[in-house]
Structures are given as structure tokens and as C-alpha cells.
Amino acid sequence: MSHFSQIKTQIRNLTSLQAALSDLGVDWKSGPQAVRGYRGQTTTADLTIEQKNGYDIGFSWNGSAYELVADLQFWQQNWSVDRFLNKVTQRYAYHTIVKEGAQSGFQVAEQQQNEDGSVRLVLQRWSA
């Protein structure tokens, strides 16, 4: 019986996910890679985060988004699973907005990290 949990996300762009994890100081490996779980079980993921305890975390494409895949019993990150996903999602959104904005001719004019952890981002585009 598998001990892997799959947690749905709204993450659809692997490059923005990788940038978000890097922003948070999380070391990751590009896949496909095996995610190690309980009693030597593995599953394949498109991005893998190795943990010191020998159990991994992964993000796996499900056809519409990247799911977090892990044996949650052996979660060994600085944050809880929910907090980890919140932080990753926030940084993912930041990178997605900046990337999509740049493709439409926008540049970051201002960004501010607020006390509550939110980010205020202002994009601008000059027209001739």
C-alpha cells in the first residue's frame, strides 16, 4: 500500500515553480526523478526535493497542474505542508505575473514586501 499523498495545486509552469523554490532557498532537482518513500517505495516526479531523512518531496504533472507528492509522515521541511505550499504558491504567482507581464511589454516599477508577508507589485508599460 502506497504511503504517498498527492496534494493538488494550481501550479502549471515548471520554470516559475523552479524559480519560486530557489527564492525560498529550497534545493531541487529537475526530473523526471524518483521520489523516495516508505519502505523503498518510489514514484516519479518532474521535480524532486531531497530531504536529509531519505524521503523526498516531488512535484508531478497530472495533466493539468503540478501536484505535490510526498509521504507526509516523513515531512522534514522548515515549514508545515500548508505553510510550505502557501510560500511556494506566493513566489510562483510573483514569477508568473512578472513573466506574463514582460511578454506583454510590462516592467516591474515597484515591489514592496509587506509586514503581513504579502507582496505589493506594480508593473508599468510605456507606450510610444
Residues 61-100: tens digit of each pLDDT: 999 999 999 998 899 888 999 999 999 999 999 999 999 9
Neighbours of 70 (CB within 10 A): 28
In the chain, which ranges are E strands? 5-7, 29-36, 42-49, 57-61, 66-70, 107-113, 119-124
- Mean pLDDT for 106-124 is 88
- Could you tell me if 42 and 36 are in contact, meaning their C-beta atoms sit under 8 angstroms apart? yes
- Could you tell me if 97 and 123 are in contact, meaning their C-beta atoms sit under 8 angstroms apart? yes
Residue 35 has pLDDT above 90, yes or no: yes
| Helix 14-23 with 81-103: angle, nearest 10 deg | 120
**DSSP strand pairing (42-49 vs 57-61):** antiparallel
Segments making up each domain of the chain, as ranges: 5-124
Confidence of residue 34 (pLDDT cuts 50, 70, 90): very high
Cα 35 to Cα 20, 32, 68, 87, 106, distances in angstroms: 20, 9, 11, 21, 38
* Better-scored residue on pLDDT, 128 or 38: 38
